[in-house]
Amino acid sequence: MKIAKILVDVPTRQTDRTFDYLVPAELFVECGMRVVVEFGRRKVTGFVVDFVDSTDFSGRLKEISEVIDDKPVLDQEQLKMAQFLAGQYFTFAVTNLWLMLPGMLKGKTEKYLIVHNLTDESLLPLFSEGTLRYDSKTLSATQQKKIRAALARNELEVVYSQSRVITKKYTEIINSKIALDDIPAEIDKLSKQNKYGQLFWQTVLTEGSPLAVKHLTKEIGIPRRVLTKLAQEGSIELSKVEIYRTPLAASPKKKSQLLTHTKEQSAAIKEIAASFDTDQTFLLEGITGSGKTEIYRALSEKVIKSGKKVIILVPEISLTPQMISFFQASFNDRIAVWHSRLSRGEQYDEWRRIKNNEVDLVLGVRSAIFVPLKDLGLIVVDEEHEKSYRQSENPQYDARELAKWRGNYHSCPVIFGSATPTLTSRAKAERQIYRLIRLDKRVNPNGHLPTVQIVDLRDRNNRSSKIFSEDLKRAMLERFERKEQTILFLNRRGYANFLECRNCGYTFNCPNCDVSLTLHLFEHRLSCHYCGYKCAIPMSCPNCHETDLRSFGDGTEKVEEEIKQLNPEITTIRMDRDTTSRKGSYQKIISQFEHHEADILVGTQSVAKGLNFPEVTLVGVLNADISLNRPEFDASEVTFDLLTQVAGRAGRGQTAGKVIIQTYNPNHYAIKEAKDQNYERFFREEMYLRRLHGYLPYYYTIFIKVTSKEEMLALKTALDLQKLLSENKNEQTQILGPAPYYIKRINNEYTYQLALKYKKDEKMKMTLHEIIDQTQSNNKVKINISNVTC
C-alpha cells in the first residue's frame, strides 16, 4: 500500500507536523485532497501533503477512512506557502491551509454527484432521485471505481452541499429547434392575434439562441405559458445550465479607452516589462494622479497576452468597484474579484473559476494572495503602505511578504505601488533590494497637485463652528455655488465620542471594555466599537438621575448634521462602516457620488485613497490629529500617509484642487511635510528618528500580547515570558515591557504586551516557538505573537 503524509486538522504545536497513513487500494488520493482519518480515538479532517514508500513509524499504520474531495483543493504551491507562513508568523500549518479555501469548503459539507450524459448504465439506478450523495461508506469498491472513471470522462460532476442545499446556481434557457433562416417563415404562419409568439420569434431572430428564460419573461415580457406551449409543440427546448454567481454582473461596464501614456508611464512600463520572468520587486513611487493604475493595466495586458496570469491587491473593499470597472473594460469577464463581502456562493464560484483556469486576472484584498492562480506573470500590491495588508489576528500573515514569496516561486515581478511607500520599502529601494521607479507628474496635462492650507484650530478666530473653520466653511460654500464637489475626511464614525452627565460627570462606558461608548444618533444607540455592545440612548444619568446629558467629540454623523445647518440645499453622502455594512453599499455610494448625486462625500479613511472623482476640487481634513495621537511608533508615518493620500483626491480633473487641513499641531513635521506633499523630506526626518530610537527598518519588531480573563494571570504570564526571553536572547535584542495594552480590557479580557526589538537573533526565534508549545495546554491564557518585519 501507498503511504500518505497527512497534516491533521488539530491545531496544536505537538500535531503541527505530518502523520503517516496507509492509502487503501480502492481509494483515489492525491496531494492537496482532504481526507478523514482516525487520530487517537476520534476522526478528524486532514490534508494530504505527500506520499512515501516507507515509514519511520514503528507501530501499525492506520488507513485513511474517507476521501472528502474528488480533486485536489490545494496545489503544491499552497502547501509550501502554508509551511512558509508557519515559520514566519508562529502559526500552525493546518490553519494556514484553511486560509486558502473558500468558506463553502469549511465546516461540515456533503458531496453530491450530478449526472451529465452517463454512459455506464450500471450506475443509472443510483441516480433515481436525480442526484446521489457521494459517501464512500455506502458505495461498494466497484461502484466507487466506476464513479471515478465516469468523473474522469466528465460524465459526472461533484458539487458540495451545506444544509442539503446544492451549492451551484442554475438558470433555465431555451434553444430554438428552428433554424435561423426559417424563423421569418415561422413568423408568417402565426396569426396577428398571437402577439407573444411573434414577439418571441422576433427576439430569437434579433438576439440569437440560446436565450435565458428569465430574460424573456422579465425583460421582454413574454409569459411563461407561451414558452411552455412552444416546448410542448417541439419548436424550442427548455434546459437548465449552471451560471456563476459573480460580483462582476453588478459592476457597471465601461468601454475600453486607448490611453496615451506619458513619458514617465512609458518608461516605467518598459523597465518593468524588461524584467518579466524574474522575481524582481519594484517600488513604483508615484504622486497621486500620476497614472499608476494604468501602468498596472498595461503590464497586465502584456502578461496575459504571453499566456500568464495576474494578481492585483488593493487595501480596501471600497476601492474594488472603480478598479473592477477599469480592468473589466480591458479584460471583460476573464477577471475574478475576491474580498470578504462576497456571499459564500459567490466566493465559491469565483474560486472554482480561478481553479478551472477560466480567469486571467484576480483583483482583491489581502486574502486574494492565496487564490490558486497558476502561471503567475505579475503581482501588484497597490497602496502598499496600508496596514490592512497585515492580518493581525491568528492565523497572522502579511500579504506583501506573501506577494514576494509567490513572485519568487513563479519567477515573476512584484510591484509595490504607492504615493507614500512604507519607510521599510523605500529603505530597501535605497539599498537596491527593490528597484525604484518614480512618477513625479500627474497624467492630466492640466492637473497639478492641489494647494494645501493648514488651519490652526488653537486660534479661536479660525473657528466657524465646532467642526468647520471659517476658511473651510467658505470654501465648501464656494464649491457648492460652482457645482463642484467636496470630500470631507474625519477618521471617526458615529455622532459623538462619548456621552456625559453635566451634573455629576458620569461617563457612559462599555461594560466589557475600558472605553467609552460612542453615540450613534442615526441608530439611537450607544455602541462599543471593540466588542459590539449596544444599548439605547439613556434618558437620564444612572448615577444622579439628572437628565442633563451632553455629547462630546465629533463623528461623521455630526458632520452631516452641521452641513445641513450650513445650507439645507447641499446634498451629502456618508461613507463609513455604518453606511457600508450591506452588500453592494460601497459600489452604490461611489456610483452616486461619481454621477454627482451628492455635493459632499463625508467619510472615514475609505475616502482617503484610490478613488478618482474628477469633479472634486476641495478636500477638507477635519481633524488631522486623530491618527497622530495613536500610541504606536509609526503614528507620524500613518498621519503623513493619510493626509497625502486624501489630499490627492482633489484636483484630478480639469479644475485645480484645494485641501484644507484642520489641526491642533500645525508645526508637527508630518503635517508640515504633508502640506508640501514632500515625501523625501518626511522620509529623511522620520528615518532619523527611527534610527535614534531603534525602530523599523533599523530593528525588526515582535509584539507579544498576553490575554486572559484574569488580569493578574495575564500580568504574571507576561512577566514569566519577559524573564524567559531575557535568558535566551543575544546582547543586541531589546525587551520592552510588559505593559498594559493601550486598551487594557477588551470584551472582558485583559491584555499585557511585550515588545522585542532585534536585528538578528535565531535563538530568540526558537524561544518564541517554545513559548507557543508551552502555552498550548493553558486554555486560560492566549498568547499572540506579531512579527513586524516587512
- pTM for the full model? 0.82
E-assigned strands of 457-533? Answer: 485-489, 498-501, 518-520, 525-527
Q: Looking at domain 451-496+553-688, which of 3.40.50.920, 3.40.50.300, 3.10.105.10, 3.40.50.11540 is its CATH number? A: 3.40.50.300
CATH architecture designation of domain 2-105: 3-Layer(aba) Sandwich (3.40)
Query: Does 790 belong to an annotated binding site?
Result: no
Look at residue 724 in the predicted model and tell me its pLDDT. Answer: 87
User: pLDDT digits over 458-499, tens only?
Assistant: 887 776 567 899 899 999 999 999 999 999 999 898 999 899
Query: Does 535 belong to an annotated binding site?
Result: no
321-325's contacts with Cβ under 8 Å and 24+ in sequence apart are: 321/251, 321/586, 321/587, 321/590, 321/591, 322/590, 322/610, 322/611, 322/612, 323/293, 323/363, 323/610, 324/247, 324/248, 324/251, 324/363, 325/251, 325/252, 325/253, 325/254
User: pLDDT digits over 128-178, tens only?
Assistant: 666 777 666 667 778 877 887 887 787 877 765 544 444 667 788 888 888
User: pLDDT digits over 406-421, tens only?
Assistant: 999 999 999 999 989 9
User: pLDDT digits over 328-354, tens only?
Assistant: 888 877 889 888 888 788 888 889 899
- Cell triple for 382: 497597490
Q: How confident is the model at residue 389 (pLDDT cuts 50, 70, 90)?
A: very high
Query: Does 31 belong to an annotated binding site?
Result: no
Angle ∠(743,747,752) on CA atoms, nearest 5? 40
How many CB atoms sit inside 10 A of residue 632's CB? Answer: 11
Single out the residue of 434, 400, 420, 424 nearest to residue 691, CA to CA.
Answer: 424
User: pLDDT digits over 750-777, tens only?
Assistant: 999 998 888 877 777 777 777 776 665 5
Query: Does 412 belong to an annotated binding site?
Result: no
Residue 28 predicted with pLDDT over 80: yes
| Measured CA distances, 719 to 28, 218, 221, 341, 538 (Å) | 52, 68, 73, 41, 41
Residue 206 predicted with pLDDT over 50: yes
Single out the residue of 460, 417, 475, 440 nearest to residue 621, CA to CA.
Answer: 475
252-439 shares its CATH topology with 451-496+553-688: yes
Single out the residue of 75, 104, 95 nearest to residue 373, CA to CA.
Answer: 75
Contact by Cβ (8 Å): 289, 419? no
Q: What residue type is assigned to position 675 of the chain? A: K
Share of the chain above pLDDT 90, in %: 40
Q: What kind of fold does domain 252-439 have according to CATH?
A: Rossmann fold (3.40.50)
Contact by Cβ (8 Å): 93, 86? yes
Phi and psi angles of residue 766, each rounded to the nearest 5 degrees, phi first: -60, -40
192 vs 297: which has the higher pLDDT: 297
For cell 491545531, the residue is 11
Single out the residue of 153, 152, 160 nearest to residue 131, CA to CA.
Answer: 160
Query: Does 528 belong to an annotated binding site?
Result: yes
| All structural domains of the chain with their residue ranges | 2-105, 169-248, 252-439, 451-496+553-688, 700-788
CATH architecture designation of domain 700-788: 2-Layer Sandwich (3.30)
Look at residue 590 in the predicted model and tell me its pLDDT. Answer: 86
Which of 119-128, 230-239, 357-366, 741-750 is the least confident region? 119-128
